[in-house]
Amino acid sequence: MAATTCPSALDDYRVMAQRGDDGDVLVTGLPMRSVDTVHRLMLVEAVVFASVLAAAGAAAAMWSLRPLRRVAATASRVAELPLASGEVAMPERVPDIDPRTEVGLVGAALNRMLGHVENALARRKFSGSLAWAPAVRWSRRRSI
């Protein structure tokens, strides 16, 4: 038979009484504080383990998103270019990324898009120089 009692005003105890062979009653008791200490220790261990696990997960997520940050950085540099005016130097392409991943597919698509934009800008520059060529020739003839 076990019971939780408070034999003193100091602390709670877990008490167990057992009748012996000779008729005597053996009463043993343990303070509940030590049991609470074990529970508290288990709680601290669980919190520390969860914190380490969360930190490791966050580090793994940051590491796995590095290629996506490179793609975003290249896209940001392109977005800052003044494409509507003058000659534009296109930034470097996205570094080669594994084409089997979603980030790799986005990087390859961005590189293709940058190639198309670069070709379009080169054609615009070329066609603009052709448009000026007759006007320059005509003005030279008039001045002669």
- pTM confidence score: 0.49
Q: Tens digits of per-residue pLDDT, 29-76? A: 877 776 677 888 899 999 999 999 999 999 999 988 888 888 888 888
Give the whole-angstrom CA distance, residue 6 versus residue 24: 23
CA angle 109, 113, 115 (to 5 degrees): 120
Structural domain spans, the chain: 2-63, 65-143
Of residues 98, 97, 93, the one with CA closest to residue 117: 93
User: What pLDDT, on a 0 to 100 scale, did the predictor assign at position 120?
Assistant: 81
**111-139 b/e with 16+ CB inside 10 Å = b?**
beebeeeeeebeeeeeeeeeeeeeeeeee
pLDDT band at residue 141 under the 50/70/90 scheme? low
